[in-house]
Structure 1
Amino acid sequence: MLNFLKKNVAKHVLNLVPYASARRLFAASEQDNNAQTPIWLNANEAPKAHDFTLDTSLYNRYPDCQPDAVITAYAEYAGVAKNQVLVSRGADEGIELLIRAFCNPEQDSILICPPTYGMYAISANTCNVEVKNVPLIHRNEDSENTENRDFGSFQLDVPKIVAQDDSVKLVFICAPNNPTGTLPATADIEAIINHYADQALVVIDEAYIEFADATHTAWLDRYSNVVILRTLSKAFALAGLRCGFTLAHPEVITTLLKVIAPYPLSAPVADVAAQALSIAGLARMRAQVSEIIAEQTPLAQSITQLGDIELVGAQYGNFILFRTSHKDALMQYLVDHKVFIRDQSKQIQLANCLRISTGDAAQNARLLALMTQFYNLQETTAL
C-alpha cells in the first residue's frame, strides 16, 4: 500500500477484507462467446429475468427519497402500514443503516449467529462496531424444546444469546437462514425479542421468506423492537435491481430516515419495483417460486444418490447446502464446465460444504449430469 494511504486510511478499515460476493469471485459479464453458456448457481438468484417498461419523462429530476408507489405497494403486499416501511438499495443497505443509526462505534456491538449471512459482520466492521458471535446449535430431534423435526439443526442458542452484555444493540436472525436453509424456532425468536425489549432491536432477515411462508410481520405491532428485512432480489427475480425493504415500528423508520442517502432509489429502480409489486407482478413471482420449489425437491433427492454427498440443514430457501469430501475437486470440475456454485466451507460448522442455487429445469439437469459424471470418474479412479 502507498505510504500516504497507509497513514490516512481509518484504522478500523486498514485490515478489512472485502466481502467475497458471488460476482467478485465469478463475474457474470465475463462470458466467452465461444464457450458453453455459463450457469450461475452461486448467488441464490432467480433463474429467469423478466421484462419491464420505463417511464423516462421525469428522469431529469431527482427521485423521491421514498417513492409512494413503491412504499404503498410493498406495505399492502407485506400486510403492514406505510409508515412501517422503508425502501433502500437492497436489504444490505438496510443492514448498514440499522448499524449506523443504533450503534456507537467502538462502544456498542451487534450479535450474529453463524453460520449465517456474511454482510451483518462486514457492515459492522466497516462502521467500527464490535461483532459478537453465538454459533447456531444442533438439538436432539426428540427434545422438548423442538417444535418438530425441522427445528433440530442449526438452531438459536437462546441461553447464550440472552447472556450477552448490555453493549448489544442489534441481534441479527436470518430466517430462513443463509446458507443452512433452516428456520429458527418461533418460540426461540420470541424469547430473544422479549429479553432484549428494553435494550436492543431484533432484526429478522426474511430475504427468502417467499420460499418458506413463515413471516414474522405480525410481531411488528406487538413488539416495538422487532425489525424485518426483505428484498426483491430472490423470489422477485430482481437481484440486479438492488431494492430492499426494512419493516419496523414507525419511530424506527423515522430514525433510519435520518441516516439514509437523500436519493437512495433511482427512478428506474422505483419504476420496476412498482411493476413487480403490481397484481400481475405478484402473480408472476408466486408462479416462479412454485416452479423453483418444484425443481428443488427432486434435485435435493437426486444429489444425495451421488458419491458421499450429505445434505446439510434444510431447504427453506431457493438453495441446497451439502457436504462432500470431494469439495474442492467437484467445485473445480463444475467451474471447468462453466457451472458456478458457492463454497461455504470457511464458515463455522460447514467444513467441506457447497451451496447450490436452484435453477430452472434445464440448468438443474446440466448440473446433475456434470455431478454424476464427476462422481463416476471418482469411482473409476478408485478402482
Structure 2
Amino acid sequence: MKSLASRLVPKTVEKLIPYQSARRIGGSGHLWLNANELEQSCRYGAGDGEYHRYPDFLPHELADTYRVYCQGAGDTLNCDAVAVRGADEAIDLMIRTFCQPGADKIMICPPTYAMYEFCAESIAVEAVKAPLLDDFQLDMTSITKQLAETKILFLCSPNNPTGNVINQADIITLLEAGKESTLIVVDEAYIEFAPDTSVINLIEQYPHLVVIRTLSKAFGLAAIRCGFLLADSCVMEYISRLIAPYPIADPVAEIALRALDSDGIQKMRIQSDELISTREWFAEEVQKLAIVERVYVSATNFVLIRFASAECMYSYLLSKGIVTRNQVHEPALANCVRISIGSKSSMLETLNALQEYK
C-alpha cells in the first residue's frame, strides 16, 4: 500500500532526480579531483580549519547525533533526521516538496509563526486559516472541517508568539483524522523549555507526522542557522530530493556537534533552567503592574503581555532603548507585546521601565 506521502507528493517531485553533487556520488581514492576544489587551503586567517573541500552532502554524523539527543535515556526513535539551515528551511522544504503552486493548500492556526504562511504564499500555495480559540488552543471543529482539503497542517508547540503548549490529545486527534489526507507538521523550536510535551515519539505510530527542531533557541546558536527535520522514511524520501547540495557548512556542523555532546547538553539545560526561573520571576512581577491586563503562561524563552493601555507599549519601551516585539498586527493580540527573556539584569531594567510608565 502506498504511503500518504507518496500519494500527496506532486508528480514533478516524484520524478525528480536529486542533484548529483560530487559528495553525493562519492567514491574512494587518494587524489580527489572530482569537485573542482583547491587541493590546499589559503586559510585567510580562519584558524586551523581545512575549508577548501566541500562538506558532506548531507551531514550524517550531525543528523545521527541529533537523533541520539532526541531519544533520551533508554528510548528508541524510529525515524529519519536531516540537518537543515534553520527551522525556516525545514518549513520551506515541506511546502516545496508536497505542494503544487496554484493548486494545493496548507493550514495554519494564527496567531502563530509567520513563516508558514510566508513560505506558502511565496510559491502561490494558499494558507487556509483556523484561528486559535481565546485560550490559544486549537479550534478543532474549524480544523477538522478543512483538514481533508489541505496537504499540510502546521502546528507550533510551544507556540510562537503566544507561548503556550498545544494540548497533545488534540494533536493526536488530528493525526487520526488526517491519516488519509494531510501531513501534520509540529514545530518544536522551543521544546527544550517544555521537553515533556514533545510529540516526536509519535512518528513511528503516525508516519504522516513531521517534527521540526532548531538549535537557535535553548542551545543559543541562532547565528549558525542549524535546524533539524525529523520524519518517517516515507516522507524523508521526497524531502531529500529537494535539499540543496552541501546544506550545512563544516564550521556549523562542528559547532553543532560540540553543542550536542554530553557537556554541551548539560550546559544548555543549566542555562534553560536559569532562564525559566527568570521568566517566572519577571512574569510574576509584571503582572502586579496596573498597566498590565494579563501575562500569558509561557513554555518558551519569552512572555506575551497584554497591556491595559491603548497606547503602544512597544513604542514606549523602544524610547527607553528596550527593543521588544509588537503584536498588534495579529487580530487576537491587540495591545500585546512579546518580550524575550534575557539576563536577570536585563529583565530588571525592563521591569523598572514599565514601573516608571505614566
| TM-score normalised according to structure 1 size | 0.77
Pairing 1:314–2:297 present: yes
Amino acid at match of 2:161: P
d(CA) in 2 for partners of 1:158, 1:253? 28
Q: Contact 1:104–1:129 (CA<8 Å) still a contact in 2? A: yes
Pairing 1:277–2:260 present: yes
What's the counterpart of residue 288 of structure 1? 271
Kindly tell me the number of residue pairs found equivalent between the two proteins.
308
Q: Contact 1:71–1:82 (CA<8 Å) still a contact in 2? A: no
| 1:355 positional shift | 0.6
Q: 2:186 aligns with which of 204, 211, 218?
A: 204
What's the counterpart of residue 127 of structure 2? 131
Q: 1:89 aligns with which of 85, 90, 103?
A: 85
Q: What is the CA deviation profile of residues 57-84 of structure 1, one whole-angstrom value per residue up to 9, with x for unaligned ones?
A: 4310111122122112101001165861
| 1:187 positional shift | 1.2
What's the counterpart of residue 22 of structure 2? none
Q: 1:327 to 1:338 in 2, by over 3 A?
A: farther
What's the counterpart of residue 372 of structure 1? 355
Pairing 1:78–2:70 present: yes
Structure 2: runs of 5+ lacking an equivalent: 1-45
| 1:56 positional shift | 4.5
Give the share of equivalent positions with the same residue, in percent.
Answer: 39
What's the counterpart of residue 256 of structure 1? 239
What's the counterpart of residue 216 of structure 1? 199
Q: 1:63 aligns with which of 52, 55, 59?
A: 55
What's the counterpart of residue 154 of structure 1? 136
Q: Contact 2:78–2:204 (CA<8 Å) still a contact in 1? A: no
Q: What is the CA deviation profile of residues 108-138 of structure 1, one whole-angstrom value per residue up to 9, with x for unaligned ones?
A: 1000000111000000001110000000113
Q: Contact 2:213–2:228 (CA<8 Å) still a contact in 1? A: yes
SS at match of 1:339: coil
d(CA) in 2 for partners of 1:177, 1:87? 22
Amino acid at match of 1:363: S
Pairing 1:242–2:213 present: no
Q: 1:165 to 1:193 in 2, by over 3 A?
A: closer
Q: What is the CA deviation profile of residues 256-287 of structure 1, one whole-angstrom value per residue up to 9, with x for unaligned ones?
A: 11111101111111111111101111001000
Amino acid at match of 2:123: C
What's the counterpart of residue 7 of structure 1? none
Larger RCO: Structure 1 or Structure 2 (Cα < 8 Å, ≥ 6 residues apart)? 1
Q: 1:56 to 1:100 in 2, by over 3 A?
A: farther
Note the 1:165-180 alignment, pairs <5 A: 166-180=148-162
SS at match of 1:164: helix
Q: 2:343 aligns with which of 338, 360, 377?
A: 360
Structure 1: runs of 5+ lacking an equivalent: 1-53, 139-152, 379-383
| 1:245 positional shift | 0.5
Q: Contact 2:292–2:306 (CA<8 Å) still a contact in 1? A: yes
Q: What is the CA deviation profile of residues 297-322 of structure 1, one whole-angstrom value per residue up to 9, with x for unaligned ones?
A: 01001111112202254211111101
d(CA) in 1 for partners of 2:100, 2:149? 10
d(CA) in 2 for partners of 1:329, 1:113? 25
Q: What is the CA deviation profile of residues 305-362 of structure 1, one whole-angstrom value per residue up to 9, with x for unaligned ones?
A: 1122022542111111011143644322321222111101111311110011111111
d(CA) in 2 for partners of 1:110, 1:348? 20
After superposing the two structures, state which structure 1 stretch, 339-348 or 74-83, moved more: 74-83
d(CA) in 2 for partners of 1:294, 1:166? 42
Calculate the aligned-residue CA RMSD, in Å: 1.6
Q: 1:158 to 1:57 in 2, by over 3 A?
A: same
What's the counterpart of residue 188 of structure 1? 170
SS at match of 1:271: helix
After superposing the two structures, state which structure 1 stretch, 118-127 or 157-166, moved more: 157-166
| TM-score normalised according to structure 2 size | 0.83
Q: 1:66 to 1:297 in 2, by over 3 A?
A: same
Q: Contact 2:287–2:295 (CA<8 Å) still a contact in 1? A: no
d(CA) in 1 for partners of 2:326, 2:311? 9
Amino acid at match of 1:114: P
Q: 1:199 to 1:117 in 2, by over 3 A?
A: same
Q: 1:322 to 1:265 in 2, by over 3 A?
A: same
Pairing 1:120–2:116 present: yes
